[in-house]
Amino acid sequence: MPEVKPFAIQCPAPIGDTGLVQLAHGGGGKLMHDLLERMVLPVLGNPILESRHDGAVLVMNGMRLAFTTDSYVVRPLFFPGGDIGALAVNGTVNDLAMCGARPLYLSAGLILEEGLPLDTLNRVLASMRRTAEAAGVQFVTGDTKVVDKGNGDQIFVNTAGIGLLKHALSIAPSNVCPGDAILLSGDVGRHGIAVMAVRQGLEFETTIESDCAPLAQPVLALLDAGFEVHCLRDLTRGGLATALIEIAETARLSIAIDESVIPIKEDVQAACEILGFDPLYLANEGRFVVFLPASRAADALDVLRAHPVSSGAEQIGAVGKNAAAIVTLRSRIGTTRVLDMLTGEQLPRIC
């Protein structure tokens, strides 16, 4: 694919514009990126945190552990294909899996708003339990806080997780190599559309369900089979495009992907066209990309496709050999464009 230079002039992101937190600071795009780069990392930063991975890999007594956390503030709490409880389990399980770890233990931190129906809490807790059982993890510690009515929104869930690494690979964006194949585990955009549709009361011909699912099985299958995986990333806030841009920036390598092989379900594509969304930037909760040597791509696809959650896996592109940290997309009609991080926010509170 031809190399394309990024635009020579770009406006700086408006982080200092208002001096106030904006919704887009939580959107997974450029504003959030800047908030982390300019405010959070300089203050809290250390070498482990700065690896910009989905989780931290810690070495304790010679054992390698993965440790990660995410808070969930999705609205509404329940949507086709999932709910905040399922998200809170699978999201953290998936971050551990993206470190190459077997997810084992979770914590649960609940922030409840005064007036939340106990029935709603019960449904969320039951979903957390079901999802944890399906993912093979246990809740081992937790905390509950209540805030007064009007100062929360029903229920926020934080989960942190611990997983165990049983291989010697270093799996991180900085380990992506020129020539690596990029595998995508399935169709993209469903979670974003599923949440947005129920939030806005939109009805499509079919009900679009979130892809919310645990991803450890196909990842561990690759690792157990000895594939030299360089990087893994699940495609949450900001979607496929943002994940690839972040990886390209961290690895300082170019990435080229081919739109025609990126799986997108027809109903998702149609909804995106009506609503003006780009499916490449929509959140997913059960999709990931794998970077590994191109020579093993076909075999790795076979492994992924053997698992239901990644049965639709495809090779969508490759890592280039030059140091321009950009992502280019060859469109269905053969043109090529640079994918840029969104400054704003397609869908707030998507997870």
Q: Which of 289, 178, 195 is nearest to 243 (CA)?
A: 289
Interacting residue with a second copy among 131, 158, 254, 346 (CB under 8 A): 158
| Listed ranges 144-152, 194-202, 261-269, 282-290: which one lies at the site for a second copy (CB under 8 A) | 144-152
The values of phi and psi at residue 288, to 5°, are -150, 165
Collapsing DSSP to helix, strand or coil, 72 comes out as strand
**Shortest Å distance, C-beta 283 to a second copy:** 12
Q: Is 35 in the site for a second copy (CB under 8 A)?
A: yes
Interacting residue with a second copy among 1, 14, 37, 69 (CB under 8 A): 69
**Shortest Å distance, C-beta 109 to a second copy:** 4
Q: CB within 8 A of 93, min separation 6: which ones?
A: 103, 106, 135, 137, 161, 214, 215, 216
Q: Is 110 in the site for a second copy (CB under 8 A)?
A: yes
Q: Is 308 in the site for a second copy (CB under 8 A)?
A: no
With tokens 């007064």, the residue in question is 148
Q: Is 70 in the site for a second copy (CB under 8 A)?
A: yes
Q: Is 200 in the site for a second copy (CB under 8 A)?
A: no
Q: Which lies closer to a second copy via its Cβ, residue 256 or residue 350?
A: 350
**Shortest Å distance, C-beta 108 to a second copy:** 7
Q: Is 314 in the site for a second copy (CB under 8 A)?
A: no
Q: Is 68 in the site for a second copy (CB under 8 A)?
A: yes
Please report which helix (H) or strand (E) contains residue 287, including its range.
none
Interacting residue with a second copy among 11, 20, 168, 333 (CB under 8 A): 20
Q: Rounded CA gap, 63 and 274, in Å?
A: 50
Q: Is 121 in the site for a second copy (CB under 8 A)?
A: yes
Q: Is 119 in the site for a second copy (CB under 8 A)?
A: yes
Interacting residue with a second copy among 8, 11, 12, 46 (CB under 8 A): 46
**Shortest Å distance, C-beta 66 to a second copy:** 9
> DSSP character for 77?
S
Q: Which of 99, 217, 111 is nearest to 157 (CA)?
A: 111
Q: Is 77 in the site for a second copy (CB under 8 A)?
A: no
Contact 67, 99 (CB under 8 A): no
Q: What is the 3-state secondary structure (H, E, C) of 245-260?
A: HHHHHHHCCCEEEEHH
| Listed ranges 147-155, 219-227, 260-268, 274-282: which one lies at the site for a second copy (CB under 8 A) | 147-155
How do beta strands 314-319 and 181-184 pair? antiparallel
Q: Rounded CA gap, 74 and 156, in Å?
A: 8
